[in-house]
Amino acid sequence: MNRENQVKDYLFSNTQDVLMAQEELEKIEKLEPKISQADIELLYKLYNKSIEKRTFQTPVGLEFMLKVKKILDNNPNTPGEVVPIPLYTTFDLTTRREQEAIQKRQQFMVKKKKDDAKKLKTSIIVNVVLALMVVAMFFIATTGKNPNILNYENAIINKYAEWEQELRERENRIVYYENEYGIERQPMASEEP
């Protein structure tokens, strides 16, 4: 068994109960020296106030409350009826199992929410990376010199425009040389009527 969860003579099943018992023990250690010297009326008020405010709920605190109750029960000058110590837990096995099932369900839901949050975060990061990649691809496609689906029409038009320019320049040179050397030009098959 895990002795880290022990407070006084009690071994608790979870850390929250241990912390609660330790807080109660600290309160008890402050109050205990004053109890033996306390006025019975003051002790009676302390007892009732502790019950009203649910100051002590763990076995450590309930043990202290039982000690105070016995002092009050055995004193004939107690100003009023000493009420029983209320228990804030159930000992019915069916109810306890229902409570445990509810706790497990709550723990599962908390874990599921954490897992969902982690998945959402991962999904957002992946989506941002993919979006940046798409933007980078569009940037490369629009600024690149190689023809692609975005600029193929302009690339082809530019290529044909270059060819047409080269052909005109050649034709102009040929016409120039023909005129300079007096060569008569023969009509081409495509130029005949």
pTM of structure: 0.48
Give CA–CA dist 68/62, Å, rounded.
10
pLDDT above 70 as % of the chain = 90
> Which range, 31-35, 56-60, 129-133, 156-160, is most confident?
129-133
Judge whether 97 lies within some domain: yes
Q: What is the pLDDT of residues 42-52, one digit of tens each?
A: 899 999 999 99
Residues 124 and 148 in one domain: no
Judge whether 124 lies within some domain: yes
Residue 96, pLDDT above cutoff 60:
yes
Overall average pLDDT of the 5-14 stretch: 85
Judge whether 79 lies within some domain: no
**Residue pair 72/44 in contact by the 8 Å Cβ criterion:** yes
Residue 192, pLDDT above cutoff 80:
no
Judge whether 36 lies within some domain: yes
Measured over the CA atoms of residue 152, residue 155, residue 161 and residue 167, the dihedral's sign is negative
- The band of 93, judged by pLDDT with boundaries at 50, 70 and 90, is low
- The band of 1, judged by pLDDT with boundaries at 50, 70 and 90, is low
Judge whether 157 lies within some domain: yes
Joined together, the tokens standing for residue 59 give 């076995």
Contacts of 62 (CB under 8 A, 6+ apart): 56, 85, 87
Overall average pLDDT of the 2-14 stretch: 82
Measured over the CA atoms of residue 44, residue 47, residue 50 and residue 53, the dihedral's sign is negative
Overall average pLDDT of the 95-120 stretch: 86
Bigger pLDDT: 136 vs 5: 136
What local confidence, expressed as pLDDT, does residue 190 receive? 61
What local confidence, expressed as pLDDT, does residue 189 receive? 65
Measured over the CA atoms of residue 62, residue 64, residue 68 and residue 70, the dihedral's sign is positive
Give CA–CA dist 132/125, Å, rounded.
11
Judge whether 38 lies within some domain: yes
Other Cβ atoms closer than 10 A to 43? 21
Split into its structural domains, the chain has a count of 3
Give CA 5 to chain center in angstroms: 29
Judge whether 192 lies within some domain: no
Overall average pLDDT of the 97-113 stretch: 86
- The band of 87, judged by pLDDT with boundaries at 50, 70 and 90, is confident
Residue 193, pLDDT above cutoff 60:
no
Q: Look up the domain containing 105 and give its range.
A: 91-133
- The band of 130, judged by pLDDT with boundaries at 50, 70 and 90, is very high
Other Cβ atoms closer than 10 A to 64? 22
**Residue pair 26/61 in contact by the 8 Å Cβ criterion:** no
Judge whether 53 lies within some domain: yes
